Structure 1
Amino acid sequence: MSTDSGVLATLRATPTPVRYLLGGVLINQLGAFVQTFILLYLTFRGDALGIAGLSLAAYSVGSIFGTLLGGELTHRFGPRTTITMAMLASAPLVASIPFVATIPVVLFLVVGLAGLVTQTYRPAAAVLLSDLMPEEHQVMAFSMMRIALNTGAAVAPLIAAGLILIDWDLLFYLDGATALLYGLLAYLLLPRVEAPKDDEEKKPAVDARAAYARMAGDRKYLAYLAAVFLGTIAYAQSVTALPLEIVADKYPTSLYSAVLTVSSLVLITCELKITSYIVKIPQHIAVFAGHMVNSLGFVLYALAFQSGTFVILGAVFAVSGLMIAGPTMFAHPAKFPAEYKSRYIGTMQAVIGLASAIGPLFGVFTFNSLGGAFWIVIALVNGVAGLLAVYGVREAQKEPVEAGAA
């Protein structure tokens, strides 16, 4: 049993189309510059901070609706078509940003549409991954997808730093090029039909209203979504409030660079191995343990004023908790029946997008007002997320079938 769930066993069991899918995710993430650099780009050009902020808000709003749209399109047209359409639509939009940057209304529209279509591919990729990977390797497979995303997110700023030295506009040209490349690879290499399911009988189509009504009545899934929302807001403080903490405690900014480096290295190099152990224990225990380890990291941040060592230790615990709970949480919506799966995945990713947009605002506005209690509050919020997650994912493999039969 332990051999079947190991890293090497999972890699051997990974079908070739999944390798193409993960490679495409990595390529696209390597050029994902809009959300990270749009603020810096516009302020560098001399635009007002308000224009830059509204542009980022437009992208964030587009992203939230994009994941919902992606779930619906995947259900109607299939993952391959959705990924191809999303990336081919994203490429010209992001590449045109330098040409419309001087016209605010057009800029907001283009950036918002870029966020919408760019994020549409995510539910499709998750559905295709869950359809193609053997069930016993699903959590490991989603861990591999997370590694592809995180590797791209870690390397992209290094690429951006070199491009900026030449021309800021190159950021968006490369972003468009990687989206175009991913779209073409998806069209040429990904399977045209969903992976067959031997045990699945043909079922009548489920329309969007029925699917979302079912979701709204699923208390376990709503608890899971609440856990995702609170957990994402809590973890967002590692990139929002933690820099404020480092500045307030009069540490050099290089300490935050060290935190980012350590977190990325631990996440990329250790997640797959940790997941190989996590899949051997009940999933509700894994998500609870992960949230508790994560909360311990936030508590260590509260001690940052005493020594910068607590900042590094806090980062290690925070990212370790993410590795313990993350793969199971990320894979959970893919366990639902095929007629609901894409919409459940899309809704989960929309909740992540919403929390990612709210989290930084929450951190900025509450950090100063809460003072030394801030990180304790964040740890408690994350602890509540852990309890909700336990309720939401426990016996998840049985719940969807029972709920669907009811």
Structure 2
Amino acid sequence: MTATAQARGKPAGVLATLRATPPSARYLLGGVLINQAGAFVQPFLVLYLTQQGLSVGRAGTALAAYSAGAVLGLLLGGELTHRLGARMTIAAAMASSAVLVMLIPSFASTSRFTYLLIVVGVAGAFMQAYRPAAAALLSDVMPAEHRVMAFSMLRIAMNVGAAVGPLLAAALILVDWDLLFYVNGFTALTYALLAVALLPQTGRTDGPAGDTSGVLPGRAAYAVLARDGRFLLYLASMLLSAVMFAQFTTTLPLKVAAAGHPPALYSAALVTSSVLVILCELKVTTYVSTWVAAVAAAGGTTVMSLGIAGYAFVDVSAALVIVATVVFVSGMMVSGPTLWAHPAKAPAAVKGRYIGASQAVFGLGSAIGPVVGVFAWTQWGDGVWLLTLVVGLTSAATAAVGLRERPDGAAQVTAKL
């Protein structure tokens, strides 16, 4: 399906989009999948450290250090994308994280705990710093009419990697727990080498070497962002949607257990979520990509909110867990690609920083969400689902305004540069 067909409101098919995907985008997505398949630090760090004799409290502190580093790393990645270009940012971030991750076993002891926190925190920063660069590069190399589909493919690559990762980890643990971090380092280094060898040097927004006409100092760039009211509303939507999503992985298992259902039911919900995203999101996006962005983002987020609110009725029937999950994930497939693609519409002089800010805000929401959810669950029980519904609907409302098309496109932002 051509861009002309899309302009007439006809969706581009999955195969047509794949044919329009340039080799550089395929290399980028392949690198993301490889890296994600070996991303073991966040899901297995607590288990690993407790296996090494550290207390649960110290293991949790180390995970918090990783999470804090990850949020800062997303902002760092946006800045580096402007200064180094997307390819070199990906290569530098992945190579640095490879070294740091492989050092974790050397510091996994009580006597070296302070050094462990530093290594884990910095590793978290570099492991996430590649994401804004990858998003900026993907938006540069993909045809504009396929940009939303491109971000859907990016999400699927990450989901496939996340599905493969635990299976690989299970095999590695049987041999040696330390292999988790050595293999993680190897996959990150592989991505770094792929970036240097196969990715184009695009995505730098400070202009070509020796040309400072497009340079926008970091402080000025963030001042532009701070004055962009609609983008701030978009960031609010990303923060709130992350808080809402966190309840799927944090509060839902508590609810399932409290309702007397076996843990396998929660596992079934996770599998249902992964299978739906991997098999259906691209096809859903072929239609959603022709919608008005504000409608797709707000409508999908509203459906997500209704789905997650359905978990309040898990006591009635175990089947409702799966039904609510289908509704929740369906909404996510509608809104997700549009929300994640939105910062790529920003002018070149601020694009990387806009992307970094959006991902950092989502990461912050992902860190806050579990704390909010567990507190609400312990204090109000099923009232957490009403709170989550309000958070989700507020996210939808801010998305509806934040993603509304400007009368003159990006001119209002450009005029501030």
The interval holding the TM-score normalised by the smaller chain is: over 0.9
The alignment's TM-score, normalised by the length of structure 1, stands at 0.96
Residue 87 of structure 1 and its aligned partner are, at CA, apart by: 0.6
Offset from partner CA, 1:96-143 (integer Å, 9 cap, x none): 111110110111011001001111100000010001011000000010
CA–CA separation in structure 2 for the residues paired with 1:192 and 1:404 = 24
Asked if the contact 1:285/1:390 (under 8 Å) is kept, the reply is: yes
CA–CA separation in structure 2 for the residues paired with 1:194 and 1:292 = 33
Counterpart pick for 1:172 among 181, 191, 199: 181
Per the alignment, residue 240 of structure 2 pairs with 230
147-156 or 234-243, which deviates more: 147-156
Per the alignment, residue 208 of structure 2 pairs with none
Q: Give secondary structure in 2 for the equivalent of 1:402.
A: helix
Unaligned runs of 5+ in 1: none
Counterpart pick for 1:143 among 127, 152, 160: 152
Residue 194 of structure 1 and its aligned partner are, at CA, apart by: 4.3
Asked if the contact 1:4/1:10 (under 8 Å) is kept, the reply is: no
Asked if the contact 1:43/1:52 (under 8 Å) is kept, the reply is: yes
Q: Give secondary structure in 2 for the equivalent of 1:339.
A: coil
The alignment's TM-score, normalised by the length of structure 2, stands at 0.94
CA–CA separation in structure 1 for the residues paired with 2:13 and 2:302 = 25
CA RMSD of aligned residues (A): 1.6
Q: Give secondary structure in 2 for the equivalent of 1:270.
A: helix
Q: Is 1:242 aligned to 2:249, yes or no? A: no
Structure 1 pair 288–193 and aligned structure 2 pair: CA distance change class (3 A):
closer
Per the alignment, residue 217 of structure 1 pairs with 227
Per the alignment, residue 21 of structure 1 pairs with 28
Structure-to-structure mapping, 1:2-401, within 5 angstroms: 2=6, 5-102=12-109, 103-194=112-203, 203-395=213-405, 398-401=408-411
Equivalent residue pairs, number: 402
Q: Give secondary structure in 2 for the equivalent of 1:394.
A: coil
Offset from partner CA, 1:319-361 (integer Å, 9 cap, x none): 1111000000000000001100000000011111111111111
CA–CA separation in structure 1 for the residues paired with 2:407 and 2:68 = 32
CA–CA separation in structure 2 for the residues paired with 1:396 and 1:148 = 31
Unaligned runs of 5+ in 2: 206-210
Offset from partner CA, 1:269-299 (integer Å, 9 cap, x none): 1000000000121111111110111011112
Structure 1 pair 218–194 and aligned structure 2 pair: CA distance change class (3 A):
closer
Residue 43 of structure 1 and its aligned partner are, at CA, apart by: 1.3
Residue 4 of structure 1 and its aligned partner are, at CA, apart by: 6.3
Residue 226 of structure 1 and its aligned partner are, at CA, apart by: 0.4
The one-letter code of the counterpart of 1:346 is G
Residue 301 of structure 1 and its aligned partner are, at CA, apart by: 0.4
Structure 1 pair 229–97 and aligned structure 2 pair: CA distance change class (3 A):
same
Residue 215 of structure 1 and its aligned partner are, at CA, apart by: 0.6
Q: Give secondary structure in 1 for the equivalent of 2:249.
A: coil
CA–CA separation in structure 2 for the residues paired with 1:307 and 1:267 = 24
- Identity, in percent, stands at 52
Residue 45 of structure 1 and its aligned partner are, at CA, apart by: 1.9
